[in-house]
Amino acid sequence: METLFIPVTALIILALLVVLRLRTRHKLRSQPPRVKLQPPLSQNEQACYRILTRSLPGHLVIPGIGYPRFLAPLNPGHRHASSLIREMQAYTADFLICDIRFQVIAVVSVREQRDARAEAMLREAAIPLLRFEAANLPDEAEVRETFRDLESLGGMARQLDHGNTSAPPAPQPVPIKGGHKRPEVVRERKEPKF
């Protein structure tokens, strides 16, 4: 009889522990998650966003956008494409700058830490990465000049892609409502200072 007493007692204690654990888990599941509202951008990101939107009125400034929203594998059918997409999901651009047609112009970062793999993805896609120090953000004039230079370099790259180094390619008509077409407005750009 004494030989059965210890195993039976241990079994009863184990059963009580399992029941208590299940009850505690059930209580935790039945409680709603505790969350609070927070600003979508940090103080530094808010300041940078204001500078970018005031400096670039003809551009779209998209904050906190994941890399898969503007990057895609070069060959989607490749056997490593899905792993590349999963890797891209780990990265977020502080700000994505686009023209009015949602063509990517640059990525702006106000983070202090750097990620070599994220930077390599942007380089491979030929997307300029601009780093702004959070403690020393540029003024609006500096931002305008930087983007003017970037767009100027982008125009030069498009000319080289088309094999023409003398004049920019003719603007293509942009469809508007009603099926009518009007020419795209092209403004003269200052050449970048080197």
Which range is most confident: 21-25, 33-37, 161-165? 33-37
Residue 92: φ, ψ to 5°: -130, 135
Mean pLDDT over residues 71-87, rounded? 88
* Partner residues linked to 92 by β-bridges: 66
C-alpha gyration radius of the chain: 28
pLDDT at position 185: 35
**The pLDDT of residue 158 is above 70:** no
How many CB atoms sit inside 10 A of residue 128's CB?
18
DSSP secondary structure letters along 28-93? HHHSPP------SS-HHHHHHHHHHHHH-TTEEEEEEEEGGGT---SSTTSTTHHHHHHHHTT-EE
pLDDT-derived band of residue 145, with 50, 70 and 90 as boundaries? very high
Residues making up the chain, counted from first to last? 194
Residue 168 token pair = 């920019």
Mean pLDDT over residues 98-106, rounded? 93
